[in-house]
Structure 1
Amino acid sequence: MTDHNRPFSEDERQGLYRAIHERRDVRSQFLPDPIPADVLARLLTAAHHAPSVGFMQPWDFIVIDSIEVRQSVLDIFEEENRKAADNYSGERNTRYKSLKLQGILESPINLCITCDRSRGGSHVLGRNSIVETDLFSTCLAVQNLWLAARAEGIGVGWVSILDQQKLACTLQLPEQVYPLAYLCLGYVSEFLDQPELQAKGWRSRLPLEDLVHGNRWAQPLENMQLKTALKIPE
């Protein structure tokens, strides 16, 4: 039996599930310690091994350690964050402004994962009906990197409060390249027991049993064993 066909051991399976459940969007716990080049290379390799529709591999990785570039990105964030705060009023506005939503300068490395929307040409296998599959595929690269980072003890924070056009200009991206995910990477003082937004009372995790449907939307599951495993009441 080749190594690729070898069943995962119980420890390997548990390690994967642990990374999934203990992954966090990190904003406040970054340490200044640099990420060794071989560790960062492993993370990028993990991202590059994500599945992609038509094997188009639309991602590129911009490794950002320049303080000048990161300060420019932080300026974009701060402008957009002020606009975002205006969406809330009263106590919600106060709570929003108290949240730490980026670690652009605190983390030792920033990483922008982009999507080249022309990668693979005008006719990519499997993309005929859903053109956004290049974006979906790039999201899988983000997830691969995030889980690998957790296994390496490295925190990742996704900075989504950014004007994408200004970010693309700052990073000098070609017209067909979309800056899909701007990430902060670094070792951390701790991984929180629960997502930070949940810990601070912004939102709670939805019950899985409320999100699983049977055959059609809003229809009950007919698979009794799955219902039992999910602890869905009769």
Structure 2
Amino acid sequence: MRFDEIQAATLESILRWRRDVRHFRRDPVDEALLDRLAEAMELAPSVGNARPWRVIRVEDPGLRAAVRADFQRCDQAAAADYAGEQAAAYRALKLAGLDAAPVQLAVFAHIDPAAGHGLGRRTMPETLRQSTAMAIHTLWLAARAANLGMGMVSILDPGAMERLFAVPEDWAFTAYLCLGHAEWDDDTPLLHRAGWQENASTRWEVR
């Protein structure tokens, strides 16, 4: 299939306007839309077609509270790494949408699945985690195209998350995702607005 200029421009817009959303409205997300997003995630590439991502939709209030508590503990520890103006800037950042996001997903990578029969990962087993990351990015773009916001909560203890969700030993915690309707539309990334860091060039190096 060949894409025309309009389709190519649409993809560029989705890539350009994807945001790591932290501010959510509490309104529920339509279940049919969530089904379509799950289907879109299934379109992600994966090493040997192993499809190692495992997703838990977190609805239980006790589990959500436990995730929030672990975030707060890890956040306090992370804040101690900064000093002076940077410490104040860190404390001012909103780093999670856990309080309002109506949909929350715990994502794990199956680090030794039977699927794929080991193809492509003998010397690089980390490709299973990379495949899971690509599935997350696919979901992120699909959510943005559906005018939903998504944010990743990375200030969590992976071991604590694996114990909390009582997952098999060969599931590795990869990400905790908040999903829902963004509280507002803003073309300025949060870290840029806070003055934390601007984009750095990542041009391809030629050798």
TM-score tier after normalising by the smaller chain length: over 0.9
Aligned to 2:204: 212
Structure 2: gaps (5+ residues): none
Match among 9, 17, 26 for residue 14 of structure 1: 9
For residues 178 and 148 of structure 2, what CA distance do their matches in structure 1 show? 10
Moved over 6 A (4+): none
**Residues 1-234 of structure 1 correspond to what in structure 2 (within 5 A)?**
5=1, 7-28=2-23, 30-120=24-114, 124-208=118-202, 211-214=203-206, 216=207
- Provide the aligned C-alpha RMSD in A: 1.4
Q: Do the aligned partners of 1:63 and 1:111 also contact (CA within 8 Å) in 2?
A: yes
Q: CA deviation at 1:10?
A: 2.5
If you compute each CA radius of gyration, which structure gives the higher value, 1 or 2? Answer: 1
Residues 171-213 of structure 1 deviation map (CA, whole Å, 9 limit, x = unaligned): 11111101111100001132321221111100100134xx321
The alpha carbon displacement at 1:122 in A equals 9.5
Residue identity matched to 2:111: R
Letter paired with 2:56 = I
Q: Residues 130-166 of structure 1, C-alpha deviation per residue, up to 9 Å, x if partnerless?
A: 1100000000000000000000011011000000111
Letter in 1 for 2:120: G
After TM superposition, the score normalised by the length of structure 2 is 0.95
* Matched AA of 2:166: Q
SS at match of 1:54: helix
**Which letter maps to 1:91?**
E
One-letter code of the match for 2:19?
R
Gap runs ≥5 in structure 1: 217-234
Contact 2:50 2:116 in 1 (8 A): no
Give the partner amino acid of 2:75. Answer: N
Judged with a 3 Å threshold, the aligned counterparts in structure 2 of structure 1 residues 121 and 145 are, in CA distance, closer, same or farther, namely: closer
Instruction: Report the residue type matching 2:102 in the other structure.
Output: P
SS of alignment partner, residue 61 of structure 1: strand
d(CA) in 2 for partners of 1:162, 1:189: 24
Identify which of structures 1 and 2 has the higher relative contact order when contacts are C-alpha pairs closer than 8 Å and 6+ apart: 2
Per-residue deviation, 1:9: 2.9
Percent identity reads 36
Could you state the TM-score of these two structures normalised by the residue count of structure 1? 0.85
Q: Partner of 1:220 in structure 2?
A: none
Which digits, 9 at most, give the CA deviation of each residue in 1:56-107, with x for residues without a partner? 0001111112222111100000000000001100111011011110011210
| Alpha-carbon distance between aligned partners in 2 of 1:22 and 1:213, rounded to the nearest angstrom | 26
Distance across 2 between alignment mates of 1:40 and 1:156: 12
May I ask how many residue pairs the two structures share in their alignment? 207
Name the SS for the 1:75 alignment partner. Answer: helix
